[in-house]
Amino acid sequence: MKFLPTQLPGVLIVEPDVYRDQRGWFLETYHVQKYQEGGLPLPFVQDNCSSSVRGTLRGLHLQMLRPQGKLIRVIRGEIFDVAVDTRKGSPTFASWVSVALSGQDFRQIYIPPGFAHGFCVLSDVAEVEYKCTDVYVPGGEVTIRWDDLRIGIQWPIECPILSSKDAAGKSLDDLWDQLPEYPA
């Protein structure tokens, strides 16, 4: 199992060991001791799952009242997954990193608290599952515009399918007073 750093400190790509033979494959999708040794904080307290059609873009979401770290994996299909550093004062503020995740490559991404998360669907359908380090609190989240020019994400789609919440997202500048502070 590999835990690969990205250009954003704390954001990790996880490449699990996959055991394949004539019957198919087997892998551990989570092992508390291995993941802790790999640098992921604990515990995970909530699991979420979504199914989305091609062209759907979910995000960019940031939990404020109960900040969440998220361990994301794709069960079926393929997504373009994005993490954005939203911590005021961070040397990487407004920087983003992306990774393609699929049900075929089994890779995962860990996104720590203080980072916004979003993804778009590249396959006909994608089923995404993620573990969270805190519970979701309705009303405790902000939505950042998927196309915020200050962030400048190079999404692989031009006209995404958005929820009404995501379509009404605000820019980082408009959310400035609500964004988390970078630890000193």
Catalytically annotated residues = 61, 130
Sequence-distant contacts of 1-4: CB under 8 A, at least 24 apart: 1/28, 1/31, 1/34, 1/38, 3/38, 3/39, 3/40
CA distance linking residue 38 with residue 103, whole number of Å: 22
HEC per residue, 17-67: CEEEECCEEEECCCCHHHHHHCCCCCCCCEEEEEEEECCEEEEEEEECCCC
Beta strand pairing status for 18-21 and 12-15? unpaired
